[in-house]
Amino acid sequence: MEKTITESAQGSALALKERQGNQRKLYIESYGCQMNFSDSEIVASILANEGFNTTDVLEEADLVLVNTCSIREKAELTVRKRLEKFNAVKKHRPHMKVGVLGCMAERLKSQLLEEEKIVDMVVGPDAYKDLPNLIQEVDGGRNAVNVLLSKDETYGDVAPVRLNTNGVTAFVSITRGCDNMCTFCVVPFTRGRERSRDPHSILLEVNDLWAKGFKEVTLLGQNVDSYLWYGGGLKKDFEKATDMQQAIAVNFAKLLELVALAQPKMRIRFSTSNPQDMTLEVIHTMAKYANICNYIHLPVQSGSNRILKAMNRLHTREDYFALIDNIRKIIPDCAISQDMITGFPTETEQDHQDTLSLMEYVKYDFGFMFAYSERPGTLAARKLKDDVPEATKKRRLLEIIDLQRKHGLYRTQQHIDKVEEVLIEGTSKKSDIQWMGRNSQNTVVVFPKEHYRIGEFVNVKINDCTSATLIGKALGHTPNN
Ligand code: SAH
Ligand code: F3S
């Protein structure tokens, strides 16, 4: 453990806490994946018990926390820019403290304190329960670091404080870490080994959300299909579990079923699925329960077998097509989305063509596409030269984005003239008189507000579309309300 605690620091921090009562203000900002946003809700909960109220106003914060992402270099640069802004605010609020949480904290450790003078505290994703101690340390005028990774921390016992919530949709984390070791990816280094959360605590959280009026949950993990609860501990240690533990183990399909049955009127989504781990059992479970949404985020990264191998993605293009065919057979109207990387080391024009042809086969509903960004410490960074010129990466990226836009439009057009159930999430970004919601396939739908209200399920007749949005008119409430 890289932190230090001194008695005097604890004493003065306690005195400060007593003086300030419930008055201290926490400003927390999150970057990167949904898991980070979900983790920030855990952090807000831990700090609420320490007398911190969250604020949306940076200028009135006593403690600023930034939950960071390391997935691409650009994500880190964005955070570093943000730290400059915090620095400017601190000039007028000298007592304000700044902590870096999440993946950058884990990757850079105490180096961050040296590189960014504004930073007082560096806390990795498994160390949030130590925040009260670390804050005492910082209150005492010292820097604090805890970047210890854990083999059993899932924060299953922490009830998240919902931040920036619409009161309708929420994330529930079910696994932490990742064991897959894709060669380009920094996540296994920043988030540690894979472990699953107790299904009982997941069900409690889902039931609590329902009781508070939420209508949709997204079960979150780097690789949800790999979920496996056998009483706690790392996924890789399952083999060592007792016969009894193995016999009562809960896999992802079973967990989905438990959640679907616990709240039959609640919509259930999940993310992310890794093609190599997604089972037919999961697809059948999705088909069996009407409240599990017909949408799968199924990143493939590349359409070339040679590149998939170099990425350590443990499936081929043909395996992926077989999975897609099964999904389409079992859930005919299932939406599928992708993540893609262009310009992975050694990627040729032919490899790129393979990616385009894979996309033609699947015709994804939507996608998230990136140019390869070398991440220090990953196998790709250590073994392979980042040899695709930046201009080539960009050009290939534009080509796949273009093709995706075409496929997006093809998919949205299939919804025209249909009547679809939409859950209203809030006001449309483009018009105050329109609602915005999603259909089961996760496509955004906008329609006139009329007398409908946020959080209601409505049947919407789809009349028009863009490549990413459906435009319609509500016909009435659905029986789900
Ligand atoms: N399983 C994870 C993946 C996390 S990273 C999940 O839950 O989404 C999200 C996406 O970022 C990956 O699917 C990949 O397409 C992209 N990505 C990861 N590392 C990258 C890198 N080094 N360069 C560019 N894109 C990357
Ligand atoms: Fe990263 Fe691959 Fe895991 S993309 S999060 S190592 S599944």
Q: Is 187 in the pocket of ligand 1 (CB under 6 A)?
A: yes
The ligand whose atoms approach the alpha carbon of 69 most closely is 1
Question: Domain 419-477 belongs to what topology?
Answer: OB fold (Dihydrolipoamide Acetyltransferase, E2P) (2.40.50)
Q: Residues 6 or more apart from 416 whose CB is under 8 A from it?
A: 462, 463, 464, 465
Statement: residue 386 has pLDDT above 80: yes
Q: How many residues does the chain have?
A: 481
What residue ranges do the domains of the chain occupy?
Answer: 2-146, 168-293, 419-477
**Ligand showing the shortest atom-to-Cα distance for residue 33:** 1
CATH of 168-293, one of 3.40.720.10, 3.40.50.720, 3.30.750.210, 1.20.1630.10: 3.30.750.210
Domain 2-146 = CATH 3.40.50.12160: yes
Quick one: pLDDT at residue 331? 98
**260 burial class (0-12, 13-18, 19+ CB within 10 angstroms)?**
buried
Query: H/E element holding 195?
Result: strand 195-196
pLDDT for 382 equals: 98
Q: What is the pLDDT of residues 410-431, one digit of tens each?
A: 999 999 999 999 999 999 999 9
* Average pLDDT of the chain to the nearest whole number: 94
pTM tops 0.95, yes or no = no
The pLDDT of residue 94: 95
Pocket test for ligand 1, best of 184, 185, 274 (most atoms within 8 A of CB): 185
- Predicted confidence at residue 7, as pLDDT, reads 38
Report which bound ligand comes closest to the CA of 219: 1
Q: How far apart are the first and last CA of the chain?
A: 50
Of all ligands present, the nearest one to the C-alpha of 372 is 1
Give me the helix-helix angle, 252-262 and 199-211, nearest 10°. Answer: 30
Confidence band, pLDDT 50/70/90 cuts, at residue 4: very low
d(CA 280, ligand 2 centre) in Å: 21
State yes or no: pLDDT of 17 exceeds 80. no
Given the CA of residue 297, which atom of ligand 1 is nearest to it? 8
Three-class SS of residue 112?
A: helix
Nearest atom in ligand 2 to 272's CA: 7
For the segment 152-181, what is each residue's pLDDT rounded down to a tens digit? Answer: 999 999 999 999 999 999 999 999 999 999
Residues near ligand 2 (Cβ within 6 A): 178, 180-182, 185, 187-188, 222-223, 274
Helix (H, G, I), strand (E, B) or coil at 177: coil
Closest-CA residue, ligand 1 atom 10, reads 339
Q: Residue 337: which of 302, 372, 370, 295 has the closest Cα?
A: 295
Measured CA to CA in angstroms, residue 101 lies from 21, 65, 107, 128, 303 at distances of 25, 7, 11, 9, 34
pLDDT at 457 over 70: yes
Question: 380 alpha carbon to ligand 1 midpoint, in Å?
Answer: 13
pLDDT at 19: 46
Give the confidence band of 136 by pLDDT, cuts at 50, 70, 90: very high
Query: Can you read off the two tokens belonging to residue 372?
Result: 């390869």
CA distance 301 to 402: 16
Residue 442 has pLDDT above 60, yes or no: yes
Q: pLDDT (tens digit, 9 = 90+) per residue, 29-41?
A: 999 999 999 999 9
Q: Where residue 3 falls among pLDDT bands split at 50, 70, 90?
A: very low
CA 354 to ligand 2 centroid distance, Å: 21
Residue 243 has pLDDT above 50, yes or no: yes
277-302 per-position pLDDT tens digit: 999 999 999 999 999 999 999 999 99
Ligand 2 atom nearest residue 339's Cα: 4
Ligand 2 mean position, distance from CA 158 (Å): 25
Span from the CA of 372 to the centroid of ligand 1 (angstroms)? 9
Confidence tier at 22 by pLDDT (50, 70, 90): low
Residue 26 has pLDDT above 60, yes or no: yes
pLDDT at residue 8 greater than cutoff 80? no
Residue of 71, 189, 337, 340 with the most ligand 1 atoms within 8 Å of its CB, for mutation: 71
